[in-house]
Amino acid sequence: MYHKDDLIVGFNLLDCQIIKIEGNEYTLECVHCHKLYKYDYDKLRRRKTNFCKCTYDWTKNIKEDLTNKIFGDIIVDSLDVDNERRELSKQKYGKYIVYWKCHCTKCGNESYKSANDLKGITKRNASGCNVCFGDNIIGKKFGRLTVLNNHKSENGMILWECECDCDKHTHIWVDKGRLNSGNTQSCGCIRCEKLIQWNKDYLENYIPHSVKEEYPRLYNTYIGMKMRCLNPNNTHYNSYGGRGITICDEWLNSFNSFKEWAFENGYEENLTIDRINVNGNYEPNNCRWTDMKTQANNKTNNKYLEYQGRVQTLSQWCEELGLDYYRTKARLNTCGMTVEQAFNKNYYKNDGSKKLNKNIVYKLKGEQK
């Protein structure tokens, strides 16, 4: 920190010298490059680093050394340490750009390129040399375009005549930058083909709003089926798509096909879609419309019980035998009864109670309260 009485003309501040004082404004000159700077006293007295960056070693901040690396036909010779070129980049682009001195392995042409320019050459699979590209471009192919000739326009730009390989064999004029970057690869036929295919796919899968409004529940069932199988962010994805459950192409690509199958196979508003084989896919041969009770008895996490030579879920046994589902479930899980004991309505008759309580649980387990 500097005192105001010390800041006089001729006083050296780090790499600069005070050459002029006007009121509270100080004019400084770099002792190396003689560049002028103006500061007020408040900023001047707190300065702890050099005022001028002419002696700043910016090379130590380079993240990757590209020396001797090859990009297309370009090989990097060395880092460009010319500060004048860096200053020009600051004026033109608003920031300092690090340039590398390069030369072409084919023609020997020297050039200066930034790291982004060099990496872009590899990304575009291009030559990178403007001289070679301009001299040897005739006869080359870029996508569907074959270069035939060149022409210099009125503004001095060189345009290249290209013939497209499409059925119309259209001739177009393109500048070499668009050819080298891959932005232009045809007369426009590629874009048309993609647009036609997109329209075709859109029309095949298009679902009018009238259909969504007419069959809202069926449409929600269809969307829910796709989300469970295809969307990893869906809550139930692990039980469906995560287990390999998929949707047949007929339904996946067309809601209309799914709708036709639904009405031909007994769809009603109170029914839900159910897979007959819980490990199978959503397809016409493996799906049906059932009520919630039937679907609940056809789940992967159901427990099956064998009783009197038959196997059913607990819910099915309780419905058949007239048992209370939750009471019977408690007998099996909490009291540790066998299936025969749990299904016996009179098993607690000596106790005189039909309700499960702690006394019965302790009695069944042979413990004292």
Q: Using alpha carbons, select from 36, 24, 28 the residue that is nearest to residue 9.
A: 28
For the beta carbon of residue 328, count every other beta carbon within 10 angstroms.
Answer: 22
Do 122 and 89 sit in the same domain of this protein?
A: yes
DSSP state of 233: T
Based on the fold, state whether residues 92 and 143 are members of the same structural domain: no
What sign does the CA torsion over 353, 355, 359, 360 have?
positive
Q: Are 332 and 344 in contact (CB under 8 A)?
A: no
Domain boundary among 296, 315, 344: 296
Residues 166 and 245 in one domain: no
Instruction: Answer yes or no: are the C-beta atoms of 254 and 204 closer than 8 Å.
Output: yes
| Whether residue 158 sits in one domain with residue 235 | no
Nearest to 76 by CA among 37, 52, 116, 104: 104
Same structural domain, 281 and 320: no
Domain assignment of residue 68, yes or no: yes
Q: Are residues 231 and 279 in the same domain?
A: yes
d(CA 88, CA 213): 63
How many helices, marked H, and strands, marked E, lie in the chain?
Answer: 15, 16
Q: Around Cβ 63, how many Cβ atoms within 10 Å?
A: 6
Are both 213 and 234 inside the same structural domain?
yes
Residue 263's H or E segment, with its range, is helix 255-264
Domain boundary among 82, 115, 132: 132
Both tokens of residue 190? 């590629």
Q: What is the mean pLDDT of each run of 10 residues along the chain (369 residues)?
A: 67 76 82 78 68 64 80 84 76 79 82 81 64 68 88 75 90 84 85 79 60 80 89 87 90 86 88 87 90 70 77 79 81 82 66 45 44
Let me know if residue 50 belongs to a domain.
no
* Same domain (yes/no): 19, 68: no
Pick from 132, 162, 177: which residue ends a domain?
A: 132
Domain-embedded: residue 233:
yes
Domain assignment present for 82: yes
- In single-letter form, the type of residue at position 299 comes to K
Residue 201, in any domain of the structure: no
> Which two structure tokens, joined as six digits, stand for 158?
């060189």
In order of 51, 163, 235, 279, 369, the CA distances from 224 in angstroms are 65, 50, 11, 18, 51
The answer to whether residue 229 sits within a structural domain is: yes
Start-to-end C-alpha separation, the chain: 84
134-139: long-range pairs with CB below 8 Å, 24+? 134/158, 134/176, 135/107, 137/176, 137/179
Using DSSP's 3-state secondary structure scheme, residue 141 falls into strand
| 103 assigned to some structural domain | yes
Among 300, 299, 305, 331, residue whose Cα is nearest residue 320: 305
Assigned token pair, 226: 């796709």
Q: Specify whether 226 is located in the same domain as 265.
A: yes
Helix (H/G/I), strand (E/B), else coil: 190 = helix
Domain that holds residue 339: 304-364
Distance of alpha carbon 342 from alpha carbon 336, whole angstroms: 9
In angstroms, the CA 356 to CA 334 distance is 10
Same domain, 284 and 354: no
Q: Which of 58, 52, 129 is nearest to 89 (CA)?
A: 58
pLDDT at 159 (0 to 100): 85
Residue type, 276: I
- Residue 278: inside a domain: yes
Together in a domain, 166 and 124: no
Looking at the structure of the chain, the number of domains it has is 5
DSSP string covering 38-83, please?
Answer: EEEHHHHHT--S-S--TT--GGGG-S---TT-EETTEEEEEE---H
